Amino acid sequence: MSAEIPDWAKTRGMPHVLSIPKYVPGKPVAELEREFGISNAIKLASNENPLGPSPKAMDAIIKNVGMTNIYPESTGPELRKSLAESYSVSIDQVILGNGSDEIMQMLAHIFVGVDDEVIMPQNAFSMYEIVTRLFGGRSVKTPLTYFRPDLNAMAAAITDRTRILFLSNPHSPTGTIIGKSEFEELLDVTRERGVILVLDEAYREYVDSSDCPTGVDYIDRSENLIFLRTFSKIYGLAGLRIGYGIAQPWLIQLLNRVRPPFNVNLLAQDAASAALLDSDHFSRSRETNSMGKKFLFDGLNSLGFDPIPTQANFIAFRPNCDAESLYLELLKEGVIVRHLKSFGLPGHIRVTIGLEDQNRKFINALEKASEGLSRDKSL
Ligand SMILES: Cc1ncc(COP(=O)(O)O)c(C=O)c1O
């Protein structure tokens, strides 16, 4: 048996599938502990909620686990109803996904054909490119300016072949945001040009700034807009895989045609419904993040590591030594972060804001790990 694709099979499949870039996930704790023979490693690499899931969500899972012999309701009507109420939209404006990733893929499935173009910032969440290439589309990458997506460049990149424009706000991996008026301009241009604007708000719940657009404010007047949110971040349910999208009914109806039946499992639906009601857990998650952000910022600044001001639950920074070597040294210290090479920012590292003791462990490990490394000559 071999993992090599036989020549005959290569001519049967679609050639573009072979060139789809692989998704690079954060390294799992268990894998690191096995590799280095260490224990008590911490992972601050995937922007998960360090407090864990809401206790209410855990109760819902335990309560409903005996129901897992039956299929879930295919469209998740209970959860969609709660979401529709909380956003003051109608239930036919809400779709659930097996993570918001899946909704990105459904959108590409509908709108992207061979050689169609999809615009995204150069240093963005890799799923934008993966879902584009999955359907034979071409990703058109626009630069960041001061670590923020450059919306003028994105608008200028629109052509007659553009089908989708992906924008994350806050932007991952830098945590920067774009403001309301610049977003509104981009929304107008995409609407005029018949381009679907996907506003990815995976980290929106962490934002403090008052000048940050929120997708729901624009849905009524923007038939080309869909905004995506997830239960993987502030709601602490990344392992259950559940996210949602809100748009006008025509688009949700189309998405439902490509949505696999039962795409969101029963426990995920129940846990998410319970998590939505747990305002205590939500507030504690925000507070933990604010406190951790301040601690990490001070720590990174005192090491001279240039943290980028963030509105999310992670901080990207440029160490004054080689970022890849530093990433590897941190692994030896039992700390998993994300080297941003796979995001196209090779000199940078991203750390997820953790609990107090995790943040302290990270800063101590960083100090120790960077001591032995020579300074990056380009700085
Ligand atoms: C910008 C961005 N969007 C979406 C997601 C994925 O969310 P989900 O877990 O709902 O698929 C992530 C996850 O890391 C992300 O960083």
Q: Give the model's pLDDT for residue 168.
A: 98
Q: Pocket residues for ligand 1 (CB within 6 Å)?
A: 47, 99-101, 125, 168, 172, 200, 202, 230, 232, 238, 243
Q: How far is the CA of 302 from the centre of ligand 1 (A)?
A: 30
Q: How far is the CA of 373 from the centre of ligand 1 (A)?
A: 32
Q: Which ligand 1 atom is at minimum distance from the Cα of 47? A: 14
Q: Give the model's pLDDT for residue 24.
A: 82
Give 16's pLDDT tier (boundaries 50, 70, 90): confident
Give 9's pLDDT tier (boundaries 50, 70, 90): confident
- Whether 234 and 282 have beta carbons less than 8 Å apart is answered as yes
Ligand 1, atom 4, residue with closest C-alpha = 202
State how far the Cα of 213 lies from the Cα of 151, in Å rounded to an integer: 14
SS3 230: strand
Average pLDDT over residues 80-94: 98
Span 90-99, pLDDT tens digits = 999 999 999 9
Average pLDDT over residues 41-70: 97
- The answer on pLDDT for 269 being more than 60 is yes
Q: What is the pTM assigned to this prediction?
A: 0.95
Q: Give the model's pLDDT for residue 379.
A: 52
What backbone phi and psi angles, to 5 degrees, belong to 315? Answer: -130, 130
Q: How are beta strands 117-121 and 162-168 bridged, if at all?
A: parallel
Q: Which ligand 1 atom is at minimum distance from the Cα of 231? A: 10
Q: How far is the CA of 368 from the centre of ligand 1 (A)?
A: 31
Q: How far is the CA of 375 from the centre of ligand 1 (A)?
A: 33
Span 140-162, pLDDT tens digits = 999 999 999 999 999 999 999 99
Q: Give the model's pLDDT for residue 343.
A: 86
- Whether 96 and 244 have beta carbons less than 8 Å apart is answered as yes
Give every CB contact of residue 290 below 8 A, 6+ residues apart in sequence.
Answer: 208
Fold category of 7-40+280-371 in CATH: Aspartate Aminotransferase, domain 1 (3.90.1150)
Span 213-241, pLDDT tens digits = 999 999 999 999 999 999 999 999 999 99
Indicate the residue type of 293.
K
Listed in order, the ranges of the chain carrying CATH 3.90.1150.10 are: 7-40+280-371
Q: Give the model's pLDDT for residue 376.
A: 57
Average pLDDT over residues 43-52: 97
Q: How far is the CA of 39 from the centre of ligand 1 (A)?
A: 28
Q: What's the CATH number for 67-277? A: 3.40.640.10
- Rg over CA atoms, the chain: 21
Ligand 1, atom 14, residue with closest C-alpha = 46
- Whether 203 and 229 have beta carbons less than 8 Å apart is answered as no
Listed in order, the ranges of the chain carrying CATH 3.40.640.10 are: 67-277
Residue ranges of E strands in 69-122: 94-97, 117-121
Cα end-to-end span (Å), the chain = 49
Q: How are beta strands 338-339 and 349-352 bridged, if at all?
A: antiparallel
Q: Which ligand 1 atom is at minimum distance from the Cα of 97? A: 10
Q: Give the model's pLDDT for residue 25.
A: 82
> Three-state SS string across 1-47, please?
CCCCCCHHHHHHCCHHHHCCCCCCCCCCHHHHHHHHCCCCCEECCCC
Q: Which ligand 1 atom is at minimum distance from the Cα of 242? A: 10
